[in-house]
Amino acid sequence: MKKHFLLIALAAAIAASSCSKEKNDDPTPEPTIDPTPTGEFTQKLNYTDANQIIYNPDMGFFSSKLVTVTPDGVTNKESVIKKITKPAGRFSGTYNKDDNFDILLLKIDISAFSSRNGGKEEKLTDKALSDIAEILASFKGTGKTAFVQFAYDPDYDGKKTTNSKGEEVYADVEPKDFNLLLDHVSQIVSVVKPYQQYITAIRCGMVGPYGEMHSTIFAGDKDGRECGYIAEIIERFADAMQQEGVDLPLLVRQPRFMYSYLNLTGKTDYKTATPDLTGKNHIFGFFNDGYLGSDSDLGTFRKKDREGEIRFMSYFTANTPYGGEITRSSDKSEIPLWLSDLEGSVKEMFTIHLSFLNIGYKAEVFEALSETGFKDETAFLYLFKHLGYRYVLTNSEIEPKGNTAEIRLQYRNDGFANMPFHRKKVLSVIVQTESGDAIEIPTKQAFTNAPSGTSDPTSIALTVSTENLAAGRYTIYLKVSDTDGSYPVQFANDLWNNGLKANKIGEIEL
């Protein structure tokens, strides 16, 4: 039977708690429900991880699309929008570098605004900005999200030149006027602002080949400050985002850039430092396009202390998405970590909170992982299933109480990572009749993340009104989504209702 969805504004008495409940200093606090299971109303459900691939927002594999910007607008706007609005593919069992998943990296080429590339050094034009805005707006309703990255490298092709010694080197491609680059950053933040819901993160980028923040004059020191240009780019992004009210993860390429930004450069503080993540600092994270290619991740870690730098980075990546391109060194004698120490690499993935990988880069790596056994399946499948967060319902109780129902839930996170800080998910309860009709009861209760890397469950409890429901038997679902119902989250149990975009949590007789 066709399902009918009735969104009704029932007065839901909501109360929440978790394993680490904080004191409420409100003089008239709302009554709370103890989320501890009673054992009397446990639902007959499968509380195990079904070990299936699931697709959730802001995590998993991503592909990329070049966006070419000129003063006259985006030259390939139609093809970019077509890529965005094309339905995402779903993994069929074999690695395919051309699979189209739910995250898309927009590699936005603004090289036309640098005189080093033959362009005119000017601010991004209104037409350029309006076309970028149209592209971001096209994510609406697709279920997809974007990484956005701006850079001056023409076609993101690693432009090269010959130096005075006759050596082939990466060319400087950025504007000669560094202040203009900073103005571009402010414009980027402004154009992104209305479309924050569709964005997983901003990759700081801007300078260097491929926007990877190296091999350029602006990767050097400035006024005695190590990586000073990049530190100022980070500062401009952070300041502009704070001023504009853009609350998104900002990912940089290497930990040493954060040392400079936090004034830890030249010291060994990173080995013991607990970074200050208050204020605007909470937005920072990292992207790693040399991931597991060598012990230093192809120069990502400069200190020859991978463990120490991973530790430092993990403070940030606990709440921001982390990942990039898993690769191997061009030096054939250097064995990549994913090959030499797969078990140790996977253990580290839980520490660094791995969320995403580029499906279209280094096919031979994924092909090798597809032929490597790990935990009773292929390493590729294991990675795919554990990228990002992976919530597993471990207990559900639904207790009828007069004209209400008290719901107590416990769940853990089997994934490498946590939900990014900017995803403010809310809960709604969907009550489905035996005939298939469904009533969605919205609540204002925020979803509580279950921390990755621990088997300890997170507990929540809520009360919903059943006063307006007729006598009968109902199936109860929990929907975890953005406030407008988009970007729903699927648990890893075999409890998902794709039509309702919600997870079954039990049944109730009224």
Residues of the chain with CATH 2.70.50: 5-52+390-509
Tell me the one-letter amino acid at 131: D
Could you give the count of Cα atoms lying within 13 Å of 457 in the half-sphere of its Cβ? 17
Tell me the one-letter amino acid at 448: T
pTM of structure = 0.91
Top CATH class, 5-52+390-509:
mainly beta
Which residues are registered as beta bridge partners of 61? 357
Asked whether the beta carbons of 325 and 358 are under 8 A apart, the reply is yes
Instruction: Quote the strand ranges of 152-283, DSSP E.
Output: 160-162, 168-170, 199-206, 250-252
Q: Which residues contact 236 (CB under 8 A, 6 or more apart)?
A: 182, 185, 186
Asked whether the beta carbons of 416 and 467 are under 8 A apart, the reply is no
Tell me the one-letter amino acid at 73: G
Separation of alpha carbons 450 and 480, rounded Å: 13
pLDDT at 4: 40
pLDDT at 247: 97
pLDDT tens series, the chain, 510 aa: 334 434 333 333 333 333 333 333 333 333 467 888 888 899 999 999 999 999 999 999 999 999 999 999 999 999 999 999 998 877 766 677 666 689 999 999 999 999 999 999 999 999 999 999 999 999 999 999 999 999 999 999 999 999 888 889 999 999 999 999 999 999 999 999 999 999 999 999 999 999 999 999 999 999 989 899 999 999 999 999 999 999 999 999 999 899 899 888 655 566 677 888 889 999 999 999 999 999 999 989 876 788 889 999 999 999 999 999 999 988 888 899 999 999 999 999 999 999 999 998 988 999 999 999 999 999 999 999 999 999 999 999 999 988 899 999 999 999 999 999 999 999 999 999 999 999 999 887 899 999 998 889 999 999 998 888 889 999 999 999 999 999 999 999 999 999 999 999 999 998
Domain 60-386 matching CATH 3.20.20: the answer reads: yes
Separation of alpha carbons 432 and 371, rounded Å: 44
Pairing of strands 391-401, 284-291: unpaired
pLDDT at 99: 65
- With vertex at residue 101, the alpha carbon angle to CA 96 and CA 103, rounded to the nearest 5 degrees, is 135
Count of Cβ atoms closer than 10 Å to residue 467 Cβ:
10
Which residues are registered as beta bridge partners of 149? 107, 203
Instruction: Quote the strand ranges of 177-253, DSSP E.
Output: 199-206, 250-252
Residues of the chain with CATH 3.20.20: 60-386
